[in-house]
Structure 1
Amino acid sequence: MEFPFGQPTDAIIQFAYTVPDLTAGMRWWTAELGVGPWFVNERIGGEGSTYLGEPGRAEFTLALAFSGHMMVELIQTLDDEPSIYRDAHERRGYGFHHIAKAVPNVSDEVARREASGASVLFHDRVPGGEVFFVEAGEDAPGMIELVEDNGTTRGIFTSVWRASVDWDGSRPVRDLAELLPVR
């Protein structure tokens, strides 16, 4: 079985990178690699999120796009609050941050990983459900993001992918809200 955007359901669906400047990052990925269009969520995190088990305050902006069947995410921090993005940048610099997998029951997957000794580093509610960032092990290049696999997240990710198919370069930056279900 596979996602509508072509990845098998048990595969990695996204590679994510931190950048100092989201606009410059999107511009580079588009100019050098033809990735786009980008769908931007201007402000995420903050109230309602948790980081290392404590209420999160950090806010960041992110952009999603596809290259073929693989989603690329770029993240820019918006403040100096402790966060998975700021702390990773301070340790390793900007660049690769995490891979994402969509799972049908994110709570069960988190419980399974915690039972194996992994810790949840970050949790937040997003359109369509929840995301959890978990440790990936000492030898891992970054973290693992677990995304709830449901109709809403599939719809959003598939819409981002569809926009990339035969993209003519017009409107290289778009608002992610264009793809969100109306509430």
Structure 2
Amino acid sequence: MHTQLFGPVKQWGFVVRDIDAAMQCWVEQLGVGPWWGYRNVPLKSRFEGVDADIVIDVALSYQNGVQIELIQQKNDAISPYRAFYDTPHAQMLHQVAYMVPDLDAAVAQGKAAGLAERGMLSNAYSRYYYLDSPALAGLVVELMQADPAFVADYERCAAEAAVWDGSNPYRLLG
């Protein structure tokens, strides 16, 4: 039996040009919501060996227990997301993400399996690593630390989304 390297997929992440329009589409046309998130999130980025400060808006919803993430980068600094803005797409599937119990060990496992470290984002609370392979054709693998508070918040929001009645669809904090 083949073992999954990082466990089940926990998130599909999309980079978007307009996070409000993207959330509205997901709510009104696809029935996905509610959306939690934050505006003007400062992050440290290391991408292709270059360090930069980036600012993003991020919105999170859930479908059948899997998180859907929308990301809009607010500045022009180099980052794992920046190349998207040079394309004509309104939104693009950027990443598939996994929660891992030991982030550094998972990065090492990914490298041993042939994935290359492409970048890393961090803030005061977390680090997020991005790995890729030419075979993934632009899709990256995001690894997130599965600390208890992060997992509890994920599970709480996924449970609420499973019974969402359509009210109060946008819950982004400024």
TM bin, normalised by shorter chain, reads 0.7 to 0.9
Q: Which moved more, 1:162-171 or 1:95-104?
A: 162-171
Q: Counterpart of 2:117?
A: 120
Identity across matched positions, percent: 25
Aligned residue for 2:77, secondary structure, equals coil
Post-superposition, which runs of at least 4 consecutive aligned residues in structure 1 deviate over 4 A? none
Q: Counterpart of 1:81?
A: 77
Q: Counterpart of 2:3?
A: none
Structure with greater proportional strand content: 2
Q: 2:164 aligns with which of 163, 167, 170?
A: 167
TM-score normalized with structure 2 length: 0.84
Amino acid at match of 1:144: V
Deviation at 1:95, TM superposition (A): 1.4
Q: 1:61 aligns with which of 57, 63, 68?
A: 57
1:70-149 matches, within 5 Å, as 70-90=66-86, 93=89, 94-126=91-123, 129-149=126-146
Aligned residue for 1:57, secondary structure, equals strand
TM-score normalized with structure 1 length: 0.81
Q: Counterpart of 2:154?
A: 157
For the 8 Å contact 1:127–1:153, the answer to whether it is kept is no
Aligned CA distance change for structure 1 residues 105 and 158 (closer, same or farther; 3 Å): same
Report the number of matched residues: 168
For the 8 Å contact 1:15–1:98, the answer to whether it is kept is yes
Q: Deviations over 1:129-183 (max 9, x none)?
A: 3211111433445100001112022012112212212111121111369xxxxxx
Amino acid at match of 2:110: R
Aligned residue for 1:43, secondary structure, equals strand
Aligned CA distance change for structure 1 residues 10 and 139 (closer, same or farther; 3 Å): closer
Amino acid at match of 2:83: D
Deviation at 1:57, TM superposition (A): 1.9
Q: Counterpart of 2:48?
A: 52
